[in-house]
Amino acid sequence: MLKSERAKFIMDYLESCYPKTPIPLNNKNNFELLVAVLLSAQCTDERVNKVTPSLFAIANNPFDMQAIDIETIYNIIRPCGLAPQKSKAIHKLSKILVEKFKGIVPSDIIELEKLPGVGHKTASVVVSQGFGIPAFPVDTHIHRLAQRWGLTSGKNVKTTERDLKNLFPSDRWNKLHLQIIFYGREFCSAWGCDGTVCEICTKCYPNRKKPVNTKKG
């Protein structure tokens, strides 16, 4: 298959597997989404979803969040890991949102990336899932699978994001990035498939015999 043919097959196959793509992180507004995505760094979505109800019960908006002390935030989010950094970032970004944006999470990805603890991937998830703006957040699953499927050289996550955006139509980015994550977790995990096991890997590369070594980015 040519790369464009692989991309078409993958897009169609994933749509048949995951016609619905619920947002993995539970949230009721864009502030909750922003905080949840920040907490998900080096933490599972499942654990974040167990922690956030307690946090959002006392502060589900930047006005309330800036009013509670960092230690309180820390004690609640500790199970998510990196709690010292994350608690400070949540408190500080809440204050910035109040002072600079009147308590509203901006839809501008550049403004989001300026917030403490918010990198490009986090900002991309927020604009994609919170505002419906086309974006292609690249996490470890997407970075790994894009290499296994021959869609990118995988030099780094920036390259992977650029290559995927060039391959797929922008109106599919938001859904497709979730579909790839779901598939990666279920069928093409780091240990469950080595590039020669799952349906997509074997269809795209039927003659592949050796495991694919992927770059971590």
Q: Which two tokens stand for residue 216?
A: 């971590």
Active site residue 209: no
Q: Which two tokens stand for residue 15?
A: 């749509």
Question: Which residue in 93, 94, 81 sits closest to 117, CA to CA?
Answer: 93
Alpha carbons 12 and 17: distance in angstroms, whole number: 9
Question: Please, how many CA atoms are within 13 Å of residue 162, restricted to the half-sphere of its CB?
Answer: 7
Of 139, 158, 165, 194, which is the active-site residue?
Answer: 139
CB 116 within 8 A of CB 88: yes
Of 86, 100, 121, 175, which is the active-site residue?
Answer: 121
Active site residue 139: yes
CB 129 within 8 A of CB 122: no
The answer to whether the Cα torsion of 41, 194, 214, 199 is positive or negative is: negative
Q: Which residues are catalytic?
A: 121, 139
